[in-house]
Each structure stands twice: as structure tokens, then as C-alpha cells.
Structure 1
Amino acid sequence: MANITKSSSGLLFKEEAWTDLSLLWELSPNDPSRVVLSDNSISLLPGEQRLELLIYAPKDRGYVMQSEIEYSPVSATEAAGNTLRSETENYIDLEIRGDDEKLCSYTKIIVNDDSVLDAKCSKDGSKWLYYGNTKMVDMNRIGYYIGEGTKAAPFNIKKCVMYKDNNVLINNFDRTNKLKLFDVNGVEITDKFVVKKKNTQMIIDGTNLIFPIDYLKVQSCDRKTGEVYYEGEMRDIYGGDIYEYAYEVEFFIDNVMLTDTVYDLGTINKDKIFNLKISNKEAYPLKDKDLKVSYYSVYNPGYKLAQLAEEDSDVFSSKLTVTLEAGETKSFKLKTIKDANITNLEDEYKFSIIIE
């Protein structure tokens, strides 16, 4: 049966136990007397000056900063919340005040690759209020602040999580099948998620979700009959996670079964054609799938020097459209090409063969 595995984690940073303040955080002004640490939160205490707790933002990429907070101001003039700073010391506050409808338990700051940020907040983690969006040039730090006021309420930060974006991707999902999601008790909760489809990707949109999601059971089902082709588990899920849905197939080169997804055929001193056999071990047909030569690493040129053809054809390419019935084994040709500019590839002659 097909399987699903996490190939890339979206988690960038998290702070949940505040018993010791990480050196990644910068306190400004540096006044430790206005910080109280505990097992489950850090408290910024009021004072005569504004107090900030900042961490350097990820460079050269977008990200999401999600916070669980606790703040109960006693007057309309008190303010605390998230803050962002630039290299030139410009700053933007996402302010929470005592008279504000945005008095909340969760905040999300979503920064895209062009440093445009969207901000939102929620009392329960499901219904969100929108702050708005803006752009800050040279933004390099992000974190929290409490405004000045000696009699103000403390600002408590329970959890800080940073992840790559709001989407969870499942690659190589059969576009003709239906995705179903279940909780740990086996109750279907698909309708609680926004699920999108793009080519062979299934995208779980987590814009309005709180990460991490502890557990999801995933089913791939026939749209008409409801037959379950695959059932697997996803755990400790963060925005930006990438999962791979892989069919159960076996590859043979010259009748030797390949036990790794990366293939190294050694030194290529001349063009050579191998016999490639593919066996479908699924209980259902794989129809009109792409059989492709893909890269092991963009730094290794092997994938550029391997091509595929039907068994009775001499027309080679990097991709074929194939159909394999349940239990069927088919033969193809795999040609390795000598590159005149590379005299000895050896360990660098690596590539992957995939069906998607």
C-alpha cells in the first residue's frame, strides 16, 4: 500500500518552556527585573519605559510567527503586543489595548518573501480578526513589547512558534482520488479544513489554524465508490511541512531490484542502455502517471544524463506517461548518456526515478 512521509519540516523556531531565556532573544532596554520566567510563560512587566523582547527574523524567505498570549489591561491607555523592527530602527506595533476588540489569546504575523506582512488575532484560535497589512523595508527583528506605564498589567507570552508558511503540502497525490482527514478518535474532520488541489499536490490551507496540529489520519479514496486506497498518519504538523505520497512500486535495472530511491550507475564512459522494469504492487491501477528521471541533488549532473523510452521505442526523453494495472510489471529502456565535458562522474552520477 502507498505510504506518506514527511520530507521537509516547516518548523523554524519554537519557544514553549520559558524556564531559561534563550540567547536568541534580545531584551531592550536590558532590564531583567522586568521579566518573569516560568514553566509555561514569560511575563513582561510594566515600567516607566517601553520594554521589547526581540529575535532576529529569518533571512531571505517568508515566515509566520504565531503566538499564544495572555493580557488583561485594566485601562484603555495600556498597550502591548507584537512588534517588528528594521535595520534603521523603524518599527511597527500590532497593538492590543484595554478598549480594543482585538483583546485576544492568539496572534499571527504572516510575512511573505517581499517583506509584506499580514497580521491577525483570535480569542479562540478559530475565528480571526484582521489587523491589516503593510510593508517594512529591511525588517530584521520581530517579537513583543509592553508600553510604558508603571501601574499597567503584565503581558504574558505562553508560546512562540515560527514556521515557513501557512500551507501543508502533500506531493504526488493521485488527482483522481479524494482526500479525507480524521482526528485521533477516527472522526472525519475534512470539512474543518480548507483543502485545495494543484496538479498532483494537495494543499491543506492553515491560514486560520493553530500549529502544530498533533495528529491527522489521511485517507486517499475513490471518488465514486469510496474505496480506501491508502490510510496513513501525520503527526506534529507545522505550516510549511511537505509530505510525499508514494506508490508501492518496485524498480529493477537489468533484473536487479533497486533498494534505494537514489541510483548510482557508476562511471559512464559511453552511452549505454539498461533494461528498466517497474512492478505495480498496489491493489489498484496507476493510470496515466508520469514516469520521470529526477534530480538527486541540483549539484549533481547525473539526472541530466539519463533518459527513458518505451521498450519498443528508440525515442528517449526525461518523462513518459505510463499506465500500470494492479500487479502488472512493464519493461522500459533507461539510457545513460556520456557527457563529453565530464570524463569521470563516478559517485556524482546519481539520479532518482519517480512515478507521480
Structure 2
Amino acid sequence: MTANLLDLDLEGLAALCERLGEKRFRATQLFRWIHQRGASDFDQMSDLAKSFRGKLGTSARIEGLPVVSRHESTDGTIKWLFDVGDGNAVETVFIPEDDRGTLCISSQAGCAVGCRFCSTGHQGFSRNLTTGEIIAQLWHAEHFLRKHLGTSERVISNVVMMGMGEPLQNFSALVPALRTMLDDHGYGLSRRRVTVSTSGVVPMIDRLALECPVALAVSLHAPNDALRDNLVPLNKKYPLAELLDSCNRYLEHAPRDFITFEYCMLDGVNDQPEHAEQLIALVQQHRRAGVWCKFNLIPFNPFPASGLIRSPQARVTAFARMLADAGIITTVRKTRGDDIDAACGQLAGDVKDRTRVADRMAQQRTIMLKQTPVEAVANKET
């Protein structure tokens, strides 16, 4: 089986070049062709020697993920469903704003954490994605959007690892993917504009701080251990005190001077004034010098299996005001992509009925056997 070059960061690509008897600097040229230009055909790479292209043709490939579907919301949000094999699929969401373009990327097929308010968790866990499968989401989205919008400029300015899965439970594949996103010869994203969201895998937060510190968002969702145990089962292993201590350690390496705490607002569950008071006390107890955290309150996106409903807007506003009055920077997330099930916590979508999806994927693959990867993607996107 040939190597998929989307699996390799620049250092990995340099090692491959050396194994092929080429100079390490050739890796930079190859890396730029793949990630900056979106090339999937070695014959396109005109500044590489023909002999090198021949070696690549027999030992490597550039293979993205087959697109099962693409949906565009009335607000401009785009959601892709990608086939990752064996009846599994993952979702990726592009969220356009006036000053940025954000891509929400999945790290696992399904999720093992099982948060009560997340539809992905109710789907169950299938497997970790490879580095190439993580990067393929960005690779496809960036170059599709350039063609779609008729621009040669970079469209995606921000990446959030907030799609399906717990990124820090797929650490070995995550870090090379992050390095490719950050590399100036790849996507050139700022560490401040790449965010890893975690439900609180404490040892991996510490490792991320040392190996590839980017912006960190923590799914908090409760102000005390008893409630968080119920909403985020991982809390039983890594309770709040340990989690917040690890956040403070992370700040010694982070590109930002704050951690974002995500808090899904659930009617009658975690949205009462006493919960806000407990959150304030929790933050003050672990406060370090200066601003060390920000809260992002997230309106819950209901789904039947959760048994939960969204907090009324007036209660969300009052909750936010209590935090702000205590000196905690607080925002309320604007819900995007509701009409295509692309909003926060909804990423299970078309994956729910695995039999139906598997049948659709089999039909897609039959067609694609007669096409090159580029033709297959082009035909699906029209």
C-alpha cells in the first residue's frame, strides 16, 4: 500500500524524501503543492524533477476523503459528510463570518465520551481518524471554497477541533495534523487561530502544552462535580479541581493568555442563578494573575434522545450578566447552521442511520472506481 502524503507533516515528508534518495528541501516543494495549491497529481508538480515524480508515483499518493453529501445553510454555513470507510462517516462544517472563515473539523468517527447534551456521543464510537483523514477535511474544504468563491486567496483563517470526537483521545494523529495546519509551507495558520476543544483529558492537556500548544477550549458545562459527573462522564476520572489546575498549567505555554470554557445552557439543569454563583466561585478559586478564562455560553440544540431542552433566551442573558458583573468575560454563541443540523452538538446528522449511509457509500464507491480522485470530488460537488 502506498503512503498517503496527507498523513505526513513536513518532517514526515522530509523523512520520506530521504528514503527515496532525495534532498530534504524537496519535501518543502512537495508540501506546498499539496497544501497550498491543493494538488493531488504528481504530474502537476512542474518544479519537481521527472525522476522524483516517478518515484512518488510508485510509492505515494495524495488521497482525500470521498464526499457523501454537501449541504449549504441559508446563513452560508456549509456541512460536508465524508466517507471514512466501513459504513462510518464524519462531518465537517465551514462557518463564514465578515472577518474570518472557520472550519470545524472532526477527529474521530463518533465519540466515546458520551456527554448527555451531544448527539455525536449518542451515536457511539467507531474509531480514531488518521492524521490524513483529519487534514483531508481542511484540504478539501479550503480548495473547494477557493473554487466556489472564485478566489486564489486563503479562505479558512480559523480551525476549531470541535467536530465529532474528543481530539485529545486521538493525540498521536492530532499533533501532526496541527503541525501541518500551522506550518508556513502548509496552511500557515496562527496558533491563536487553531483551537482544540476537549472535555477534559487532563494528561493530554499537559502533553499538548509541551508538544504543540494552540488555543484551548474546555467543555465545562457544570459548576460542580456532582452535576458535571452526570453531564460529562469523563469528570469522574478528571474532576474539576484537576481540570482547572491543568488549564492553569497550559497557560504557561498557550498562544493566548486565557482558556475558553464552553457552557451548554440546559433548561432547569445548569442555568439557574445558583449555578452562575458556583461558577463565579470556581473561577475565583482558581484565578491567576490577570484574565485567565472566558466563558462561551452555548444555546443547546435539542435532539430527542437527550431528554433535554434549551434554556430560554432571557435566562441565558441573565446568566451571562451575572458572570460579566463578576468580572468574567462572557459571550453567547450565535447558533449557525441549524437548518442543516450543523450547529454545535448536532454533528451526528446523516450518520445516525448507519445502514442507510453504508448503502449510499457503497453506491458512491462503485461510481468512483471509474474516476480519478479529482474527478470524483468534482462530480460530487456539482
Q: TM-score, normalised by structure 1?
A: 0.24
Greater Rg by CA: 1
Q: TM-score, normalised by structure 2?
A: 0.23
In proportion to residue count, which structure has more helix? 2
In proportion to residue count, which structure has more strand? 1
